[in-house]
């Protein structure tokens, strides 16, 4: 054999010996053996090992015992072999665990899909409702007052199916600010909504439209703040009541 | 190659599986390994003996092989053939020893340049070469070339049988193993190959062709 040629691996020879190589590979191995005495020797040794020893050539028991006695102390000095076939022992657990994780993921994903679908339906319905004109939506002028008696509160009366109402704010303070902020609070306490970016209209008032969904029946206080740079100053406080007669059955 | 012995390959494979399973259980690991050693001691030893190692080296290499098996048995997968796995460990030990030998040889050559105490210069340098004289060498080369050409004209399987017989000096059974055919097929091919080569090359090569009667089956 050419000295530079690479020898066949033990695995290749073992597969050839067992007859498990495909035809083209078998021919390649055979061709190599023709010119490589070393690989042929290895194949013959493997064959001898696999086919067992002729009983006449079997080493005597005493020789084997002596060999074992010489080997044994070295085994003790050798790091103990790890448990054989660790993957075999753990292999059955892994697919099950993987399966559980996949099942969990699939369930979570399914729940998320269903949730998103429901939310989508609800949003479509809301958008559909809001897209409809609100006929006869009330408009109420409010002037800034303080300590107004509950009995004298201006009232916004919503139609049974009314969804919006509009407030016109007329502050007494004549100062002008860059922009304005509105804070809507329940009279009993608790902020309902806060918005910034409000500007005076051409006639010096402010108009705001609220949804019934945000500000349902009840007493409210609306504070108007003027903003100039980092400065924030109260411009007026408006109190009102929202009333809604019962919806027709 | 030996014919299957009293303990067939399948039977031994079953025993090995049993031993490995018992080692796996963790109890009396050393005692189970001893059974494995007793089962494979002779074939492993013979791998090295057949390669011309002296008995002490054969024992060393056999020991190295079994230590390799003991430490590596945790990585052995049952998908692989245990005999192949064991054989690979033995071949690794063999190749490692060859590397040591060649390294020793190189060191020895370096020392010999300086001379040794035993080297008193009494040993005469050979005055003649063991190589054939140029005329003989040329004749041998020519005979080899002619024989190779004639071998190339034989049918594929016949040529392979003859090549292994002539160039690697293999016996019938060894050729049968190398070509994965029966010894009877090898015999028949060699018989036919001899006849054809004699026809092609004439009586001049008759002495050079291996005689089938010389070898045992």
**pTM of the predicted model, to two decimals?**
0.54
Burial degree of B76 (CB within 10 A; 0-12, 13-18, 19+) = middle
Q: Given a cut of 70, is residue B87 above it in pLDDT?
A: yes
Please check whether the domain covering B148-214 is classified as CATH 1.10.10.10. Answer: yes
CATH topology of domain B9-101: Rna Polymerase Sigma Factor; Chain: A (1.10.1740)
Residue whose C-alpha is closest to residue B91's, from B47, B38, B49, B41: B47
Is residue A176 assigned to a domain? yes
Nearest CA in chain A to B37: A68
Among residues B178, B101, B57, the alpha carbon closest in space to that of A46 is found at B178
Q: Is the pLDDT of residue A113 over 60?
A: yes
Q: Looking at the domain assignment, is residue A5 inside a domain?
A: no
Residue B43: which of A14, A48, A71 has the nearest Cβ?
Answer: A48
Query: Which residue did the predictor score with more confidence, B137 or A141?
Result: A141
pLDDT tens for A171-201 read 888 888 989 999 999 988 889 999 988 888 8
- Provide ipTM, 2 decimals: 0.77
> What domain range is A25 assigned to?
10-77
pLDDT tens digits, one per residue of B115-136? 344 444 444 444 444 555 677 7
- The answer to the question of residue A121 being in a domain is no
Burial (CB count <10 Å: 0-12, 13-18, 19+), residue B175: buried
Task: Report the alpha-carbon distance of residue B191 to residue B181 in Å, rounded.
Answer: 15
Interface-testing mutation among B87, B157, B171, with chain A (most A C-beta atoms within 10 A): B87
The CATH number that applies at residue A177 is 2.60.40.10
pLDDT > 90 in chain A, percent: 37
pLDDT of residue B72: 83
Fold match, B9-101 / B148-214: no
pLDDT on residue A161: 81
Determine the average pLDDT of the residues in A76-98: 55
Q: Residue B81 pLDDT > 90, yes or no? A: no
The structural domains of chain B, with segments of one domain joined by +, span 9-101, 148-214
Contact yes or no for B26 and A83 at CB 8 A: yes
A92 part of a folded domain: no
* Residues on chain A touching B32 (C-beta within 8 angstroms): none
With bands split at pLDDT 50, 70 and 90, how would you rate the model's confidence at A84?
A: very low
d(CA A87, CA A183): 67
- Domain assignment present for residue A122? The answer is no
Same domain as A234, residue A158: yes
Residue with tokens 């495909």, as numbered in its chain: A22
- Over residues B35-45, the mean pLDDT reads 91
Q: Is the pLDDT of residue A90 over 50?
A: no
Quick: pLDDT tens for B45-72.
Answer: 999 998 888 999 999 999 999 999 888 8
pLDDT tens, position by position, B156-183: 999 999 999 988 999 999 999 999 999 9
Q: CA-to-CA distance for A193 and A211, rounded, in angstroms? A: 11
pLDDT of residue A88: 43
On whether residue A238 sits in a domain, the answer given is yes
Work out how many domains chain A is built from and give that number: 2
| Predicted pLDDT of residue B206 | 57
HEC-encoded secondary structure of A45-107: HHHHHHHCCCHHHCCCHHHHHHHHHHHHHHHHHCCCCCCCCHHHHHCCHHHHHHHHHHHHHHH
- Token readout for B86 is 């064991």
């Amino acid at each position: 054999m050419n000295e530079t040629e690479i020898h066949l691996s033990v695995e290749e020879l073992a597969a050839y010996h067992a007859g498990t190589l495909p035809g083209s590979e078998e021919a390649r191995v055979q061709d190599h053996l023709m010119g490589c005495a070393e690989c042929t020797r290895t194949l013959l040794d493997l064959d001898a090992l696999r086919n067992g020893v002729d009983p006449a050539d079997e080493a005597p028991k005493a020789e084997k015992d002596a060999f074992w006695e010489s080997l044994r102390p070295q085994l003790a000095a050798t790091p103990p072999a790890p448990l054989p076939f660790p993957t075999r022992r753990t292999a059955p657990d892994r697919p099950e665990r993987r399966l559980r994780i996949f099942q969990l993921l699939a369930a979570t994903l399914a729940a998320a899909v269903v949730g998103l679908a429901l939310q989508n339906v609800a949003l479509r319905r809301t958008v559909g409702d809001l897209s409809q004109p609100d006929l006869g939506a009330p408009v109420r002028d409010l002037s800034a007052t303080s300590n107004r008696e509950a009995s004298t509160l201006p009232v916004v009366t919503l139609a049974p199916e009314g969804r919006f109402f509009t407030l016109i704010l007329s502050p007494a303070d004549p100062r002008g600010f860059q922009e304005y902020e509105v804070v809507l609070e329940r009279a009993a306490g608790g902020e309902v909504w806060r918005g910034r970016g409000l500007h005076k209209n051409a006639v010096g008032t402010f108009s705001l439209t609220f949804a019934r969904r945000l500000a349902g029946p009840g007493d409210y206080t609306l504070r108007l703040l003027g903003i100039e740079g980092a400065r924030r100053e109260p411009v007026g406080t408006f109190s009102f009541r929202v009333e809604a007669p019962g919806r027709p059955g | 190659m030996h014919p299957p012995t009293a303990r067939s390959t399948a039977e031994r494979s079953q025993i090995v599986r049993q031993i490995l399973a018992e080692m796996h259980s963790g109890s009396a690991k050393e005692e189970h390994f001893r059974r494995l050693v007793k089962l494979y001691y002779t074939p492993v030893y013979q791998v090295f003996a057949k390669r011309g190692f002296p008995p002490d080296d054969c024992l060393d290499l056999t020991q190295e092989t079994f230590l390799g098996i003991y430490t590596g048995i945790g990585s052995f997968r049952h998908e692989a053939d245990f005999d192949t796995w064991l054989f690979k460990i033995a071949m690794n030990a063999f190749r490692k020893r060859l590397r040591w030998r060649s390294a020793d040889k190189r060191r020895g050559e370096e020392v010999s340049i300086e001379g040794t105490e035993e080297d008193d210069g009494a040993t005469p340098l050979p005055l003649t070469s063991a190589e054939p004289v140029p005329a003989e060498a040329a004749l041998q080369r020519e005979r080899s070339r002619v024989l190779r050409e004639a071998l190339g004209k034989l049918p594929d399987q016949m040529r392979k049988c003859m090549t292994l017989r002539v160039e690697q000096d293999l016996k019938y059974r060894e050729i049968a193993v190398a070509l994965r055919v029966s010894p009877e097929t090898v015999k028949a091919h060699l018989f036919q190959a001899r006849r054809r080569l004699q026809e092609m090359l004439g009586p001049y090569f008759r002495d050079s062709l291996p005689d089938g009667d010389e070898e045992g089956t």
